[in-house]
A and B are shown apart, each in its own frame.
Chain A
Amino acid sequence: AQKITQTQPGMFVQEKEAVTLDCTYDTSDQSYGLFWYKQPSSGEMIFLIYQGSYDEQNATEGRYSLNFQKARKSANLVISASQLGDSAMYFCAMREGWEDSSYKLIFGSGTRLLVRP
C-alpha cells in the first residue's frame, strides 16, 4: 500500500484565490511527522511546513497552513492568496518510526499547481 497518496496530479488556481492540495497517509505508528515541500521548475526542493502527529493545532507558516485530520489520516496543504510564484510541484512527505530511530522521509508522487493570472 502507498504510504503517502497525493491524488491530484495537477491543479489550477486563479491568482489571489486559496487552493487545497490533498495528502493522505498510511502508518501504524503513533508518532510521525508530515512535511510539505515545493519544487519549482528550477528543480530545487524547498521546505514549506511541518505537522507532528501529536500537535494539537494545525501548523501555519505565512500563507501556508496544514489541515491536519488525524482520524482520517489526511494532511492537506492550504495556500491562501495564491501568487504566480506558487506555480510548482508540491510534495507531501512522512517521517515515521521514531521508536526505532528511522529517519527516512517517504514522499508522495506530487501535485503540480499552476496559478493563472
Chain B
Amino acid sequence: DAGVIQSPRHEVTEMGQEVTLRCKPISGHDYLFWYRQTMMRGLELLIYFNNNVPIDDSGMPEDRFSAKMPNASFSTLKIQPSEPRDSAVYFCASSLNQAYSNQPQHFGDGTRLSIL
C-alpha cells in the first residue's frame, strides 16, 4: 500500500519566492497533519485537517503560511513570501479516525526546504 506521498523531496529557492509543498495522504485516512522540523525547535505541528476541514491552525507561524485541502487526496502548504528562517524539513502525516486513540499518524518522507 502506498504511504503518505510528499513532493518535492527537496526545494531550494530564493528569499521572497512562493513555495508550495504538496501531500497525498493514505487513501481512507480522514486526518491530515502538517509538521515542521528544525534543529532549534524540533517537530512542531503547524495545522491539521479532518475530512478536508482545517481544525487547528494555531501552529502556523504567521500569515505568510497557508494550507489547503481541496479534496480527500490532496493538500498543499504554501509559504509566500518565503524567508531564510523558513528553512526546515516539512512533514505531512495522515491517520484514521483519531477518536480511536491508538491510531498512529503515518508520516511522509518530508520536504527539505532551503531558502537562500
CB distance from B61 to the nearest CB of A (A): 16
Question: How many residues of chain A get a CB closer than 8 Å to chain B's CBs?
Answer: 25
Given A33-B101, A35-B104, does the pair A104, B110 have CB atoms closer than 8 Å? no
CB interface residues, A 63-117, toward B, < 8 Å? 91, 95, 98, 101-110
Contact A104 B101 (CB under 8 A): no
For residue A14, CB closer than 8 A to chain B, the reply is no
Chain B facing A: main interface SS: strand
For residue B80, CB closer than 8 A to chain A, the reply is no
CB distance from A68 to the nearest CB of B (A): 14
- What residues of chain A lie closer than 8 Å to B45, measured between beta carbons? 104-106
Contact A102 B43 (CB under 8 A): no
0/1 string, A3-35, CB within 8 A of B gives 1: 000000000000000000000000000010101
Please measure, in the bound complex, the distance between the C-alpha atom of A108 and the C-alpha atom of B104, giving whole angstroms: 16
For residue B98, CB closer than 8 A to chain A, the reply is yes
Residue of A35, A37, A44, A109 most packed against chain B (CB within 10 A): A44
CB distance from B44 to the nearest CB of A (A): 8
Chain A to chain B: the 10 pairs with minimum beta-carbon distance, closest first: A45-B107, A47-B104, A107-B43, A103-B98, A33-B101, A44-B109, A50-B102, A104-B45, A109-B42, A43-B110
- Provide a sorted-by-A list of 19 A–B residue pairs whose CB atoms are within 8 angstroms: A31-B101, A33-B102, A35-B104, A42-B109, A43-B110, A43-B112, A44-B107, A44-B108, A45-B93, A45-B107, A47-B105, A47-B106, A50-B102, A95-B98, A103-B48, A104-B48, A104-B56, A105-B105, A107-B43
**Beyond A101-B99, A105-B33, 11 extra complex contacts between A and B, CB < 8 Å:** A45-B107, A47-B104, A47-B105, A50-B102, A52-B102, A95-B98, A98-B101, A103-B55, A104-B56, A109-B42, A110-B42
**Which residues of chain B have a CB within 8 Å of any CB of chain A?**
31, 33, 42-43, 45, 48, 50, 55-56, 89, 91, 93, 98-99, 101-102, 104-110, 112
